[in-house]
Amino acid sequence: MSYGFLDIAVTPSVEAAQASMDSDHLWKDFKGHRKSDRFSENEAAFIAERDSFYMASVSETGWPYVQHRGGPAGFLKMVDDRTLAFADYRGNRQYISLGNLAADSRVSLILMDYSRRARLKIYAHAEMVPLDADPALTALVTAPEYRAKLERIFRLRLDAFDWNCPQHITPRFTEREIAAAVQPLRDHAAKLEAENAELRARLAAMESHSA
C-alpha cells in the first residue's frame, strides 16, 4: 500500500474524474510512500492543539452530514497511534451523527489550523462508548473546567489520514492566538507607561524642590 488514503478515497468514478482532468497519471504511477495508517508525533502534536474539527457521517438514505465538533484545546485525544477519542457534549439534541453511526460507522474528519494554513484529513470507523463503559477512557476525555454536559464518548479507529496543501486556506486567528501575538506589545506599552510615570514623578519632585 503506497498511499493508503487514496486507496479508500479513489473509486471508479473518481478515477474517471481524474482521467477527464488529466491528473490520473499523477496517482496511477505514484512511486512514493505515504504512511497513513498510524499517527506519528507530528500528527499527535497537531491534534493536541485543536479546539474543533468537522466530522462527516452518512445516513441510510446516502445523504452525508457534516457536523462541527468543539471543546477546549486538545479535547480530541490520541489514545494510541491508531485510536482517537473525544467527549460528545450536549448540543441541539438532534443526534443526527449519533443515529448515522448506528447504521454506518464510517466517518471522515477534517482538522484545521487556519493560522498556519494546515489541514489534516482522517478516515476512521467510530463507535459510541457510554460514559460508564470505560472509566479510564472517560477520565482521559473529561475536561472538568469545560462547563458543558458530557453525554457520551466517541472512539475512532484510524483507517487512513492525509495532509492537504495550504493553498486556498485563508489565514484566521483565534482569540488565544491574537492575545499571544499582542502580548509583547502590551508588555512594551506597560513598560513605557511605567517609565513615563517615573519621569513625571521625578519632574514633579524637581519642580517642588526648586520652588
Q: Which residue has the higher pLDDT, 124 or 172?
A: 124
Task: Tell me which fold the domain 35-164 belongs to.
Answer: Pnp Oxidase; Chain A (2.30.110)
The C-alpha atoms of residue 70 and residue 34 are separated, in whole angstroms, by: 29
pLDDT value at position 154?
97
Q: Is the pLDDT of residue 182 over 80?
A: yes
- Mean pLDDT score, 106-125: 96
What distance, in Å, lies between the first and last C-alpha atoms of the chain? 89
The single residue listed with the C-alpha cell 496511477 is: 28
- Domains of the chain, residue spans: 1-32, 35-164, 173-211
Percent pLDDT > 70 in the chain is 95
The C-alpha atoms of residue 2 and residue 10 are separated, in whole angstroms, by: 13
- Mean pLDDT score, 130-145: 93
pLDDT value at position 14?
92
**Residue whose C-alpha is closest to residue 87's, from 137, 121, 49, 126:** 137
Q: What angle do CA 194, 198, 204 make, to 5 degrees?
A: 145
pLDDT value at position 32?
57
State the Rg of the chain over Cα: 25
Mean pLDDT value across the chain: 90
Q: Which residue has the higher pLDDT, 18 or 2?
A: 18
Q: Is the pLDDT of residue 1 over 60?
A: no
Integer CA distances (angstroms), 123 to 11, 83, 91, in order = 15, 11, 24
The C-alpha atoms of residue 110 and residue 42 are separated, in whole angstroms, by: 16
Q: Which of 35-39, 109-113, 150-154 has the lowest mean pLDDT?
A: 35-39
What does the pLDDT look like over 14-58, one tens digit per residue? Answer: 989 989 999 888 877 666 556 688 999 999 999 999 999 999 999
**Is 115 in a helix, a strand, or coil?**
coil
- The torsion angles phi and psi of 36, rounded to 5 degrees, stand at -135, 10
- Mean pLDDT score, 171-193: 89
pLDDT value at position 112?
96
